[in-house]
Every structure is written in C-alpha cells, then in structure tokens.
A and B are shown apart, each in its own frame.
Chain A
C-alpha cells in the first residue's frame, strides 16, 4: 500500500468505518511505515481529546417552555431573518462609512497649515491661463477677436 492511500484510510480507520479488508491492509502498512503510524497516532490522540468535551444538558424547564408555546398555539418567529433586515444592515454600514469619510474630509481642512493652503490655491485652475498673450495660441486668439470685431 502506498502512503497516499494510507493517508486517506486513516481517518475512517479511527472512526471504525473501514471495511475489514482495508483494515488489515492499513494495519500491515503501518507496521512498516513510521510516518503513517505517526499520522494515525496523532489522529487518534485528537479523537481521544474529544472525550474531554463537556456534554450539555437541556436547561431546566426546557420542554415545559416549549410545550407551553405549542399548547397556546404561540409559535414565535422562527429564526429566519427577513431579507430586508440584511439589506438594512448593509445600508446602515455603508451610510456610516460615507458620513465618516465626508465629515473627516471637512475636519481635516482645519488641520492644514496656511502655507499648504497657499500652495493649493496657486494650483487652482482660476489662475491658469490656457493661452498666454505672448504664446502662438494667444496671438491667434487676439487676431480672431480683432477679425470678429471688424
């Protein structure tokens, strides 16, 4: 048996879900393969750890509360969550993010130093002339305006 096949059989072997024929094949392989035997031992240790898990009993009065609901015909809303609740939840989260970003951008204005504000103002498009008078474009525009006036 190859290790790859043994690897697939180890978990069902631990659970007692392996057919007899494969049990003897796997056991034979593990006698000669340290790696697969170690893998089995690890898996088996994990399986044994679960024996430490707490076993919970239904709380006191569980069935009385249930039967009272059934007898009174009261069937409280069963766990299904309406779709609109999910959409509302997503909407609220997006709204909070948007409000945060917008208010944050206003707040940050107050923290910008004056010098930075001047630099930002100088970059404004209002002071930007696309065709200065001494440029080729400027001369062309001036000539066009003169011709229009004539």
Chain B
C-alpha cells in the first residue's frame, strides 16, 4: 500500500525525467544549428570583406603576392591560395571538418566550420578558405545534460515540497472525514457531521457519506424495530398458549393421558420459546446491538454458570474440574459471555455420560472446556446453525452457533478439536 500523493509524485518524477532526457538531443540540435548558422554568416562576411579588399584597384602582381603571403601567415583562420584550374562560376562550399591541434599540449580534435570560395584577383583564380572553430558536439551535449539534470533536481525538490504542503493542508478535510468515519459506531447511532470544505471533490464525498450513513442508520433502526416487534409479536401468543396450558392442567377432570399430552405440548412450546429467543439473540448479534465495554471476569462468569447448572451436573452424576491459572478480565458483554460459557457447558453435559469429569481450564490466552468422548465431531459444521449431530436429540442445533457468534462479536476465536479421549472446545482471547 502506498500513499496516494506518493503514487502521484512517482508518476510526475518519471514523466519529468523522460521529458528532460528527451529534451537533451532536441536542445543540442537546436543550439548546434543556430551556432553553425551564425558561423556560416560570420565566414561569409569575412570572405566578402577579403575578396572586396583584395580586388581594390592599384595592387600590382608582386604586391599582391606579398600581401597574400603575409595574410596567410597572420590570419591562420583564412587562407588564400592560387588555383590552377578554371573556376568560373564555381559556387561556395560550406562544410565541417575535424582537425588536430598543431600546438603542443593539445591532443583532442577541434571542430571547424569552413567556407571555401573561389574568386579572381586581377583575372587570376584564387581559393579562399575561412575556418572558424565550433564547440565540439560532445561538449554541447554535456553542457545541456548538466543543465537538464539541475532542472530535474529543482523539479523533484519542488514536487516534494509541494507534496508535503498538500498532504498537510489540501488533504486535511479528507483526513478529518476519515478520522470521523473510523470513530463511527452504528451501535451508538449518532450521525456524523463533517467539517465544511471548499474543495468540490471532498464536499461531494462528505455529502455522499452523510447520505450513506443516514440511510444506514435508518435501515439499522428499522431493523432494530423489526426485531423488537417480531419478539413482541411471537412472545405474546406463546405466553397465551403457555397460560392456557397452565390453566388446562388445573381442570378437575384431566385424565392421566391428557396430562401427558399437555406436558408434551408444554415441552414443545418451551422449544419454540428457546428457538425464538436464540434467533432473536443471533439477529441482535448480527446487528451488533450489544455494548462490549464492561469488564467481564471469566472466573466469576464460569462459577456463576456452574452454580446455575448445578442441578444438571448433579442429576447426571458429572463432576467439574476447574483449573483457573489466573482470572481473565476482558472488556465484553457479561450477559453474552454467560450465554457463551453456559452453552459450552450445556453441550458438555448433554454429551457426557454418568460419572465423567468435565475439565475447565482458564489461562491467560485461552479457555478450554473438555469432556470425554469416543469419536470426533465434524469441526467444520459443528458451529453452523441448525446443525444436529444425531436425530435423537431435541436440540435445535443453535447453541454452538450462538457460541461462535458471541465469540466473533467479542473478536475471540472458538475452536473444536478431538484429542483422544476428549472433546476440546477452546476459546482464544
């Protein structure tokens, strides 16, 4: 993961690098051609002036020869020599040559721009060669590259500074909004108000978020209301059925057979009540309608639950072996934690036989509840809703899925494993 600004700036850096590198040959050709152009003009002017001066009237042959000799000596850049062939209307030629420096101490070759012109003095043909030193192409390229590099460095440091400034000031509203979103908790249901910003995109984002949040909150409230209504609507008819059954039992002429039927209906109603309550609890968990901030002591929760289930332990002749290495105090929801521990213990009671021992171990990182068993259960499906390991039990298959949901709600983990001869349920904090 990269910061957005860094990603953008990487692109900028690469782009400017490519552009600056591409600009080096372009600059070179531009500078070189301007240079050559100017030198050609310069050479032309010298040639014009020289031919003009030498063609002044009043110079005889011997003077001319002397002048040319002296000229060639003192003007190394412009050479005049007589030619022996016909030169009528021969055009000027312009070219570049590389020459070695004749003077000691120089080894590199110098570049020259040359103009060669044929002309007549007193009717005799002559050739005039004007040479001017030009900067070598490597040197030009090097100079341009150095300048380009300096500008590149200036660009980069500018980008970095601007980036720093942007992330501090321009992106501030976005960071504020993000901070508020992170703190938002649907369970508290207080809506967010974003700070005002004068940047269109951020303003649009804030508006969209506000809309989304208010929609979510309203859906959440509707769902909450629905759950409560469902609870009310189902519990009341169930309460009526239960009351009717209790009244029916009080009739004088209830026969033994009828009593048994009533008890069976009673048990079935109790099952519906339990499933209804569990489903509501699951729905509430899915909607995160519980606060998990109160400190929960696992030792007291376990002891309390064992006390509540005492009758069932004794009834089945089971004993409990508690190993508390330390008391675990965790932020959570006490009621939910009790349901979690209760369901695990009930499960252990249900699948134990007379005289067995249920072992509860509480350590700093985990809680395990072990009970003896013969063969492993399916660890993948054991926590899913409405899973039933066998047909001959009245459970709705919802207890362990509640355990899993409650664990997930608290960001704990629940694991099942079978270690001969024990079923091990492990709650990892």
A in complex with B? no
Task: List the interface of chain A (C-beta within 8 A of B).
Answer: none
